[in-house]
Chains A and B, each alone.
Chain A
């Protein structure tokens, strides 16, 4: 049995009924207002927090560019950093020397390095160390041909496959520099001025160690000059050295 209110027990006269309805309305009004008062809480066009945007594909809120997730908020990334799902990361060309350090300009092609970690630019992420004592330089690893090497005069060295990956080897210092005599090439790794054809500094005396020629360059023993010189493979004609020279083979490591 439902509870009977005093209202329900009132005698049924027209005036009383009217009074009852009025009281019902008085009761209804505030309660209905309770429903109508609150508007929508959620704006589906703006359903994420500060510095966030909605990704409908993933049905999630992602941080705006220049912001990254830190805990449960999107925080502005420091200079030279961009947002990523894993937090702020260095812009391309920048690297973080230590995990908590600020991003610095990454070592690029040919820049000095001690290990791969020093080569921030992913393109040139390999640190080629000539020896343990010497500082290395950043370059491209795993090249197939010199066309893979994007730096000027860098050439693909595939000879050291037993020790290290193929890599784009930097050119000897002074290579290609214009000269009229070897004095002009003094102090360079390319210390010989070839005046017959190129009038430029080249690496000479490679016959005892053909590996001295960088990249895919080869060593030609040219009797005419009484010199062995490093020449690019493009200078070979049907595999033969120019000027009647003989190709000095590289011994397998």
Chain B
């Protein structure tokens, strides 16, 4: 009986998902709120996904265009609901109100043209020829499990690893080839692509000012890392310092967050998390005994537009190791050999001010990395030194009355540890100017020009070669 119930439940969930997908306009609150982030999204909500919070009013399923699936669901709903009511009243309530699962997301299509000489070394890694591409295709699976219980998963569908560039031991950069013989197509080869789990957690609203998440959550720092949906961010690409991942973009563990009003127009947002640390290598296992801590404080003042000042502290240890078996008196034992281990202590600061149609935002990060003796990796002809990275960006945009066009400028001064591999250990300076145009609430068109260079570049390194590029993007929320 139970099995049958779950089968029917699955059918209902699917039907609900189809219904939601069939009529996106009827599901407006479930979308990643494209306009909100630019104007009124409180920074304290950074700890929440870009999707609406649990207390947002979901659209009734009846608004969706009826389909055979929804009709069938409606027919079996009362019986199933009554059955579930006894064991899982929350689920039944959700199903009855048609909001058991919300499916929404965002996508973007881009065009990039690098304006560099044909022999620029950057063209080893960046697209040599002007290219169009589907950038993001992120889906949110948002389920209200019961009163105060919610689950959210964000999954990015990607063409990678097919085609990804990788440098071989011989210095030649080749792209990945994941094509496989498709047994459903006369074993003709087809590329196999992947997906990335951006976050997946279950959330319990313990108190009105405290919610708890367990699972993979976005690190609550800054503005861009949490509001990362391409329709809600103003520019085409995330700031360099965010892409540099000086703080992990997501972690697996526990996160508590909330906000309280202190006095009129002044709100305090906070978050405290404990996790395995970085998920870059392994998202489902901690490779050391050290648990990472994340803490965030943000003050939002709504007396003059909305001004949010936030800061995040992150400390953790990132480790990589190998394991082996050895024998002691004939008995098998195991050991680990640490190949990489670094302690991190990072501070992130953010500011966002929205006043009518003006948007000002800035982020700064100080990241410190200290290697342990056992885990200091080789670097060049020696070993990697401890480092302190500092950088940030500032962005100003103004939504004009002229067809809602928003011109914006962005200045960045940012480190990127990944560039150390090509001998660049200085901060890059990036200057960007662009236009953001939202013809309809769910669609955003962007175009921007970026010029990047290094002050006083080290001779005979990539840093001697400035980069400039033109980017266009169409982003949509669904």
Are A and B physically bound partners?
Answer: yes
Of residues 2 to 35 in A, which have CB atoms within 8 Å of B's CB atoms?
Answer: 2-8, 17, 20-21, 24, 27-28, 31-32, 34-35
Closest to B347 in A: A35
Report yes or no: B386 in contact with A24, Cβ–Cβ below 8 A. no
Report yes or no: B270 in contact with A31, Cβ–Cβ below 8 A. yes
Chain A residues with CB below 8 A from B383, complex form: 48-49, 52, 60-62, 69, 72, 74
Report yes or no: B381 in contact with A60, Cβ–Cβ below 8 A. yes
- Whether, in the assembled complex, B77 has its beta carbon less than 8 Å from a beta carbon of chain A, the answer is no
- Whether, in the assembled complex, A50 has its beta carbon less than 8 Å from a beta carbon of chain B, the answer is yes
Chain A residues with CB below 8 A from B373, complex form: 49-50, 73
Chain A residues with CB below 8 A from B368, complex form: 40-42
Chain B residues with CB below 8 A from A44, complex form: 386, 388
Report yes or no: B209 in contact with A5, Cβ–Cβ below 8 A. yes
Report yes or no: A42 in contact with B42, Cβ–Cβ below 8 A. no
1/0 per residue, CB under 8 A from B, across A74-107: the answer is 1000000000010000000000000000000000
For the complex, what is the distance from the CA of A20 to the CA of B377, rounded to whole Å?
Answer: 51
Chain A residues with CB below 8 A from B371, complex form: 49
Report yes or no: A35 in contact with B311, Cβ–Cβ below 8 A. yes
Chain A residues with CB below 8 A from B295, complex form: 31, 34-35
- Whether, in the assembled complex, B128 has its beta carbon less than 8 Å from a beta carbon of chain A, the answer is no
Report yes or no: B385 in contact with A59, Cβ–Cβ below 8 A. yes
1/0 per residue, CB under 8 A from A, across B262-289: the answer is 1100011010000000000000000000
Interface size class of A (residues with CB under 8 A): 35 or more
Interface-facing stretch out of B58-66, B176-184, B253-261, B407-415: B253-261
For the complex, what is the distance from the CA of A48 to the CA of B262, rounded to whole Å?
Answer: 46
The residue from B42, B311, B344, B384 contacting A61, defined by CB atoms under 8 A apart: B384
For the complex, what is the distance from the CA of A69 to the CA of B377, rounded to whole Å?
Answer: 11
Report yes or no: B262 in contact with A49, Cβ–Cβ below 8 A. no
Interface size class of B (residues with CB under 8 A): 35 or more
Report yes or no: A7 in contact with B376, Cβ–Cβ below 8 A. no
- Whether, in the assembled complex, B399 has its beta carbon less than 8 Å from a beta carbon of chain A, the answer is no
Closest to A8 in B: B261
Chain B residues with CB below 8 A from A50, complex form: 373
The residue from A20, A47, A63 contacting B386, defined by CB atoms under 8 A apart: A47
Report yes or no: A20 in contact with B263, Cβ–Cβ below 8 A. yes
Q: Is the interface of B mostly helix, strand, loop or mixed?
A: strand
Shortest CB–CB separation between residue A65 and chain B, in angstroms? 14
- Whether, in the assembled complex, A55 has its beta carbon less than 8 Å from a beta carbon of chain B, the answer is yes
For the complex, what is the distance from the CA of A95 to the CA of B456, rounded to whole Å?
Answer: 44
Report yes or no: A62 in contact with B381, Cβ–Cβ below 8 A. yes
Report yes or no: A72 in contact with B315, Cβ–Cβ below 8 A. no
Residue pairs across A and B with CB atoms within 8 Å: the count is 125
Q: A3-B208, A7-B260, A34-B295 are in contact. Are A72 and B425 (CB under 8 A)?
A: no
Of residues 39 to 54 in B, which have CB atoms within 8 Å of A's CB atoms?
Answer: 42, 44
Interface centre among B267, B313, B385, B388 (most CB of A within 10 A): B385
The residue from A34, A48, A72, A74 contacting B339, defined by CB atoms under 8 A apart: A72
For the complex, what is the distance from the CA of A167 to the CA of B295, rounded to whole Å?
Answer: 74
Report yes or no: A54 in contact with B385, Cβ–Cβ below 8 A. yes
Shortest CB–CB separation between residue B289 and chain A, in angstroms? 18
For the complex, what is the distance from the CA of A48 to the CA of B369, rounded to whole Å?
Answer: 11
Shortest CB–CB separation between residue A203 and chain B, in angstroms? 52
The residue from A40, A47, A72 contacting B377, defined by CB atoms under 8 A apart: A72
Report yes or no: A5 in contact with B386, Cβ–Cβ below 8 A. no
Report yes or no: A61 in contact with B385, Cβ–Cβ below 8 A. yes
For the complex, what is the distance from the CA of A20 to the CA of B311, rounded to whole Å?
Answer: 23
Report yes or no: A4 in contact with B261, Cβ–Cβ below 8 A. yes
For the complex, what is the distance from the CA of A63 to the CA of B385, rounded to whole Å?
Answer: 12
- Whether, in the assembled complex, A38 has its beta carbon less than 8 Å from a beta carbon of chain B, the answer is yes
A and B contact pairs by CB, cutoff 8 A, 24 listed: A2-B42, A3-B209, A3-B260, A5-B261, A7-B262, A21-B263, A32-B297, A40-B368, A41-B369, A42-B387, A47-B385, A48-B383, A52-B382, A52-B383, A59-B380, A60-B383, A60-B384, A61-B376, A61-B382, A61-B385, A62-B381, A72-B383, A73-B373, A73-B374
4 more A-B contacts (CB under 8 A) besides A48-B383, A69-B382? A2-B261, A3-B209, A24-B263, A47-B385
